[in-house]
Amino acid sequence: MTPILPGATIGFLGGGQLGRMTAMAARSMGYEVHVLDPDANCSAAPLASRVITAPFSDVDAAVELARGCDVITLEIEQIPSAALDAAALLAPVRPGSGPVYIIQDRLRQKKWLREQQFPVGDFREAPSPEGIIAAVTEMGASIAKSCHGGYDGRGQVRIKVASEGAQAWELLGGKECIVEQHLDIALELSVLVARRPGGETVTYPASRNHHTQGVLTWAVIPAELPHEVLASAAAIAPAIAQRLGIVGLLAVELFYTSDGRLLVNELAPRPHNTFHHTERACGASQFEQLVRAICDLPFGSTEVLSSAAMVNLLGEVWLQPTPPNVSGALEVPSSRLHLYGKHSAREGRKMGHLSSTGATPEEALARALAGYQTLSPETAVPLNLDAALPMLRAFGATQR
Q: Is the pLDDT of residue 382 over 60?
A: no
- pTM of the model as a whole: 0.94
Containing domain of residue 128, as a range? 122-181
Mean pLDDT computed over every residue of the chain? 94
Same domain, 154 and 256: no
- Per-residue pLDDT, averaged over 42-61, amounts to 98
Give residue 396's pLDDT.
52
Same domain, 224 and 369: yes
Same domain, 162 and 200: no
Task: Give the chain's domain count.
Answer: 3
Same domain, 218 and 283: yes
Q: Is the pLDDT of residue 40 over 60?
A: yes
- Per-residue pLDDT, averaged over 235-243, amounts to 98
Q: Is the pLDDT of residue 176 over 60?
A: yes
N-to-C CA span, the chain: 43
Give residue 113's pLDDT.
98
Same domain, 202 and 283: yes
Same domain, 80 and 195: no
Strands 307-314 and 262-268: unpaired
pLDDT band for position 148 (cuts 50, 70, 90): confident
- Lowest model confidence (mean pLDDT) among 24-38, 149-163, 231-245, 248-262: 149-163
- Lowest model confidence (mean pLDDT) among 35-39, 151-155, 180-184, 308-312: 151-155
- Per-residue pLDDT, averaged over 17-26, amounts to 98
Looking up residue 282, the CATH number of its domain turns out to be 3.30.470.20
Give residue 392's pLDDT.
58
